[in-house]
């Protein structure tokens, strides 16, 4: 139990039935949809038919796998902690400025998936130290080991070429921007202008190597600044955002086939291939593409501030 203290917020008991209040990503799910915390609760004889009140949506595939547990989605907690805070953001400040930069990407705490994302942007020279920031550092050797974990030897030899530049480890160093973990409104004020001046916001979701969608507040930075965005998250992250949360995707200009790819290395490569074709367009071209998707951008903005997203999520709570 000690290994899961940061995820289990409380345990109560009613009529010999334990009720667990669970938060955060629980270390994620593997390709077989196993989760160590749910395994622990399920395999503990004293926890038979326990109730899990979880602040994130889980698909039916997880509930079917752990059918001895009653897993509930706590929408109120999810909204209060993650989605709701930006409703107080001063919307008079989010008029879209002239687009002058291709891409912005802001990565907080270290994770393997964020190493993958930053490394491929650095190697391809999409990374811009003004518009792209990360609050961690790593070496090419550690990155190489992480890549090898998800690929066989032949694939690793091929795909590492897209990530690793052994002659320039300085690019793997921290270049933070003053984030305050958990203060979503403060953080958006810090990066607001970078979003508004960028054609595309690339959102690095939490624990992108998990195999179950885990949607936090990060995409909302793009929604409230009316910026085009794609996310490097888990398989089916975007389809979940659309089908469960009710937000629309930018299907007119972006190809979301990467969203279905299970392997995190293959997925980030496919995502990179999709966005890189926009890299060398002119600012006028970026603006024209923005106008193509403007109806979707305005829909998502209204969908959030009207709180209509809660009506979608309520169906699963």
pLDDT at residue 209 in the model: 97
On whether both 162 and 25 belong to a single domain, the answer is no
Better pLDDT: 17 or 289: 289
Which residues, at least 6 apart from 54, have a Cβ–Cβ distance to it below 8 Å? 22, 23, 71, 72, 73, 74
Residue 255 lies in a domain: yes
Query: Which of the listed residues 73, 104, 129 is the one where a domain comes to its end?
Result: 73
pLDDT at residue 128 in the model: 92
Residue 78 lies in a domain: no
Query: Which of the listed residues 73, 102, 125 is the one where a domain comes to its end?
Result: 73
Number of folded domains that form the chain: 2
> What is the overall mean pLDDT for the chain?
92
Residue 99 lies in a domain: yes
On whether both 151 and 226 belong to a single domain, the answer is yes
pLDDT at residue 8 in the model: 94
On whether both 66 and 96 belong to a single domain, the answer is no
CA dist., res. 38 & res. 167, Å (int): 43
On whether both 90 and 68 belong to a single domain, the answer is no
Q: Which of 159-168, 191-200, 253-262 has the lowest mean pLDDT?
A: 159-168
Better pLDDT: 297 or 178: 297
User: Sorting pLDDT into bands at 50, 70 and 90, what band is 95?
Assistant: low
Which residues, at least 6 apart from 291, have a Cβ–Cβ distance to it below 8 Å? none
What is the pLDDT averaged over residues 43-67? 90
On whether both 30 and 143 belong to a single domain, the answer is no
- Is residue 52 scored above 70 in pLDDT? yes
- 177-218: pLDDT as tens digits: 777 777 888 889 889 999 999 999 999 999 999 999 999 999
What is the pLDDT averaged over residues 104-120? 93
On whether both 37 and 154 belong to a single domain, the answer is no
- Is residue 173 scored above 80 in pLDDT? no
CA dist., res. 134 & res. 173, Å (int): 8
On whether both 175 and 226 belong to a single domain, the answer is yes
- % of the chain with per-residue pLDDT over 70: 94
CATH code, domain carrying 183: 3.40.50
Residue 104 lies in a domain: yes
User: Sorting pLDDT into bands at 50, 70 and 90, what band is 50?
Assistant: very high
Residue 39 lies in a domain: yes
Residue 233 lies in a domain: yes
pTM of the shown model: 0.94
CA dist., res. 225 & res. 188, Å (int): 9
Q: What is the 3-state secondary structure (H, E, C) of 163-224?
A: CCCCCCHHHHCCCCCCCCCCCHHHHHHHHHHHHHCEEEEEEECCCCCCCCCCCCCCCHHHHH
Residue 93 lies in a domain: yes
Q: Find tokens 């897209």 and name the residue.
A: 162
Question: DSSP assignment, residue 249?
Answer: P
On whether both 243 and 133 belong to a single domain, the answer is yes
Query: Which of the listed residues 73, 100, 124 is the one where a domain comes to its end?
Result: 73
On whether both 129 and 193 belong to a single domain, the answer is yes
What is the pLDDT averaged over residues 76-84? 96
Look up the domain containing 111 and give its range: 85-314
Residue 79 lies in a domain: no
Helix (H) or strand (E) holding 13: strand 8-14
């Amino acid at each position: 139990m000690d290994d899961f203290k940061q995820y289990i917020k409380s345990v109560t008991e009613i009529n010999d039935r334990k009720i667990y209040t669970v938060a955060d990503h629980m270390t994620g799910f593997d390709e077989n949809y196993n989760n160590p915390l749910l395994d622990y609760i399920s395999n503990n004889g004293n926890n038979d038919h326990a109730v899990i009140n979880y602040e994130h949506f889980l698909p039916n595939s997880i509930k079917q796998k752990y059918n001895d547990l009653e897993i509930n989605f706590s929408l109120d907690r999810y909204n209060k902690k993650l989605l709701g805070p930006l409703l107080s953001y001063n919307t008079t400040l989010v008029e879209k400025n002239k687009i002058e930069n291709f891409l912005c990407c802001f990565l907080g705490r270290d994770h393997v998936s964020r190493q993958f994302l930053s490394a491929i942007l650095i190697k391809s020279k999409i990374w811009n130290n003004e518009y792209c920031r990360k609050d961690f550092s790593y070496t090419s050797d550690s990155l190489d080991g992480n890549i090898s974990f998800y690929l066989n030897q032949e694939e690793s030899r091929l795909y590492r070429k897209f990530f690793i530049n052994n002659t320039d480890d300085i690019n793997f160093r921290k270049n933070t921007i003053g984030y305050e973990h958990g203060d979503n409104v403060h953080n958006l004020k810090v990066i607001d202008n970078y979003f508004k001046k960028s054609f595309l916001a690339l959102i690095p979701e939490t624990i992108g190597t998990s195999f179950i969608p885990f949607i936090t507040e990060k995409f909302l930075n793009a929604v409230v600044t009316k910026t085009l965005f794609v996310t490097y998250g888990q398989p089916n992250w975007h389809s979940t955002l659309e089908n469960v949360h009710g937000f629309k995707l930018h299907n007119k200009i972006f190809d979301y086939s990467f969203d279905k790819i299970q392997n995190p290395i293959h997925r980030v490569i496919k995502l990179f291939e999709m966005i890189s074709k926009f890299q060398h367009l002119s600012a006028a071209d970026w603006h024209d593409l923005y106008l193509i998707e403007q109806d979707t951008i305005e829909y998502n903005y209204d969908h959030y501030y009207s709180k209509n997203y809660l009506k979608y999520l309520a169906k699963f709570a």
